[in-house]
């Protein structure tokens, strides 16, 4: 099982206003805990929930910064992976170093 799916911290949330969710009345000020452990193991949400299958997200219109709840077990929005920002910077720096460090040419017979 993927470590990111297995060990997700879920901090408590405080309801900012009265609302109605899935048949429950949530009052303003109530402290809520989202059970992501249960969400990520439901068969009607996930095919083979105990297996690492990264391909399940290929070809889907999912924004890791947005509010796509399919990513909830991995952390999303303000609670996304703390390494996400540094990872984006490292990818950019690596690409720049590759472009700078090598003499790039088109393959023989290809024109720009």
The answer as to whether 110 is a domain residue is no
pLDDT for 98: 93
The answer as to whether 72 is a domain residue is yes
pLDDT means over runs of 10, the chain (112 residues) = 51 85 89 78 77 80 68 64 83 94 88 82
The answer as to whether 32 is a domain residue is yes
The answer as to whether 67 is a domain residue is yes
pLDDT for 17: 92
Q: Cα-flanking dihedrals φ and ψ of residue 109, to 5°?
A: 90, -5
pLDDT for 77: 61
The answer as to whether 103 is a domain residue is no
Is 19 among the annotated ligand-binding positions?
no
Region class of 23: left (phi > 0), else alpha (psi between -120 and 50), else beta? left
Q: What's the predicted TM-score (pTM) here?
A: 0.42
- Domain range for 38: 3-80
The answer as to whether 87 is a domain residue is no
The answer as to whether 111 is a domain residue is no
The answer as to whether 99 is a domain residue is no
Helix (H, G, I), strand (E, B) or coil at 9: coil
Total domains present in the chain: 1
């Amino acid at each position: 099982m993927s470590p990111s799916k297995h060990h997700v911290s879920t901090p408590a949330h405080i309801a900012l206003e009265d609302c109605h969710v899935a048949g429950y009345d949530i009052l303003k000020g109530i402290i809520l805990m989202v059970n992501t452990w249960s969400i990520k193991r439901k068969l009607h949400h996930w095919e083979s929930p105990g297996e690492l299958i990264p391909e399940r997200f290929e070809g889907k219109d999912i924004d890791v910064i947005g509010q796509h709840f399919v990513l909830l077990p991995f952390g999303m929005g303000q609670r996304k992976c703390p390494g996400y920002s540094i990872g984006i910077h490292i990818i950019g720096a690596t690409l720049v170093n590759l472009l700078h460090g090598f003499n790039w040419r088109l393959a023989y017979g290809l024109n720009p």
